[in-house]
């Protein structure tokens, strides 16, 4: 009974009144294209090679390990800013601690990958060393009115933003990672594998965030400030607690600020008032005692994530009689499904997390 209490809960749509296009994504591998937007450019000097790599049909760890071997480096000496999906065409940065020259690296290619650019830099790429991701996604089998419907939805999303939810891939092939995370947290499932523990506890935090987000949308509080909200400045990333919703609500509406929901943990930037009561209600419903977070140590410190994100350069173009192309850019950590589900109004298999 308890194991089912943290099963995934759907996040309501923001545009339910606008009819969708229907359709399928990733009918072919080339239908899903994602390009990493780097946080910085390589300096041209340093011990690490920064490679811009195009891959398809391979996972990021597989390609990074293979490139490291080709360059005479250890697998652990390769670094990436984010993981890209296997069944897609992806362009991303991979760093390798190697004495090989950029010219030698440029000649590298293997099954499902090729190096597009190479330069030197002084540090290893770490997770999160990116600004975001740019997507180009083909939706096939759309209704005859698909283009008009998609453009109407995109115009609305450009005004209100999209829900910064965690996509299905976050929760594992069978959707049970969050349940495992809850069992680990409560001591019901001792897991020694550190990687599995981290993945499961992260999935638990993600599901709790999605539940808080779902409640905000359901109650009409997606794009406004409430008493005690943690608000994030879109320009700088700074956080502060809302003490006067009447003063902060217009700043949220304009896009200057975004309410930031919890990835629960023992060192979380605390909300107060009504916002805190809403967050505590989600934990109580899931039968999770906040006092248990400390037992997970560094794996569950907690963080704040905006409930809302703004898709950049959101465009729709026809791609044949019953297909369309959706292109947009999202900040790091956001999921393409946030946009695709609003357009198609279907359950969308998420292909890539812009981690």
Query: Which residues are annotated as catalytic?
Result: 85
Tell me the angle at which helices 337-344 and 146-160 cross, rounded to the nearest 10 degrees.
130
Residue position matching structure tokens 């905006």: 306
The CA-CA-CA angle for residues 118, 335, 140, to 5°, reads: 95
* Widest pairwise Cα distance in the chain: 60
How, if at all, do strands 24-25 and 303-306 pair?
unpaired
How, if at all, do strands 32-38 and 89-97 pair?
parallel
Helices (H), the chain: 60-70, 102-106, 146-160, 177-185, 194-218, 245-254, 273-285, 337-344
Q: How many residues does the chain have?
A: 355
Asked whether the beta carbons of 56 and 112 are under 8 A apart, the reply is yes
How, if at all, do strands 257-263 and 230-233 pair?
antiparallel
Q: How far apart are CA 198 and CA 207, in angstroms?
A: 14
Q: How far apart are CA 146 and CA 138, in angstroms?
A: 12
Asked whether the beta carbons of 209 and 305 are under 8 A apart, the reply is yes
- Beta-carbon contacts of 75 under 8 Å, excluding residues fewer than 6 positions away, are 64, 65, 68, 69
Q: How far apart are CA 193 and CA 89, in angstroms?
A: 31
* Buried b or exposed e, range 273-282, using 16+ CB within 10 angstroms: eebbebbeeb
| Residue 121 in tokens | 């830099």
């Amino acid at each position: 009974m308890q194991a089912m209490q943290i099963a995934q809960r759907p996040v309501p749509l923001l545009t339910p009144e606008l009819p969708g296009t229907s359709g399928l994504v990733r009918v072919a591998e080339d239908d899903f294209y994602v390009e990493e937007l780097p946080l910085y450019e390589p300096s041209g000097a340093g011990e690490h090679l920064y490679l811009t790599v195009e891959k398809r049909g391979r996972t990021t760890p597989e390609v990074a390990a293979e490139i490291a071997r080709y360059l005479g480096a250890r697998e652990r000496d390769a670094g990436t800013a984010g993981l890209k999906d296997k069944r897609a065409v992806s362009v991303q940065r991979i760093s390798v601690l190697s004495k090989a020259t950029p010219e030698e690296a440029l000649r590298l290619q293997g099954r499902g990958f090729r190096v597009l650019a190479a330069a030197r830099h002084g540090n290893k790429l770490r997770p999160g060393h990116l600004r975001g991701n740019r997507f180009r996604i083909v939706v096939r089998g759309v209704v005859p009115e698909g283009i008009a419907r998609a453009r109407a939805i995109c115009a609305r999303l450009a005004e209100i933003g999209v829900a910064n939810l965690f996509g299905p891939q976050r929760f594992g092939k069978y959707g049970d990672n969050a349940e495992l995370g809850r069992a680990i947290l409560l001591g019901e499932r001792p897991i020694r594998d550190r990687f599995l523990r981290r993945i499961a506890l992260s999935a638990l935090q993600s599901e709790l965030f999605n539940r808080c987000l779902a409640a905000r949308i359901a109650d009409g509080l997606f794009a406004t400030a409430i008493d005690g909200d943690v608000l994030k400045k879109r320009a700088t990333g700074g956080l502060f607690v809302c003490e006067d919703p009447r003063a902060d609500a217009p700043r949220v509406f304009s896009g200057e600020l975004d309410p930031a929901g919890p990835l629960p943990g023992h060192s979380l930037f605390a909300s107060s008032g009504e916002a805190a009561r809403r967050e505590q209600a989600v934990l109580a419903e899931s039968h999770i005692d906040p006092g248990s977070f400390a037992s997970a140590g560094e794996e569950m410190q907690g963080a704040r994530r905006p409930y809302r994100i703004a898709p950049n350069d959101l465009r729709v173009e026809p791609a044949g009689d019953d297909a369309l192309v959706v292109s947009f850019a999202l900040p790091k950590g956001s999921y393409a499904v946030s946009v695709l589900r609003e357009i198609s109004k279907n359950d969308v298999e998420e292909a890539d997390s812009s981690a």
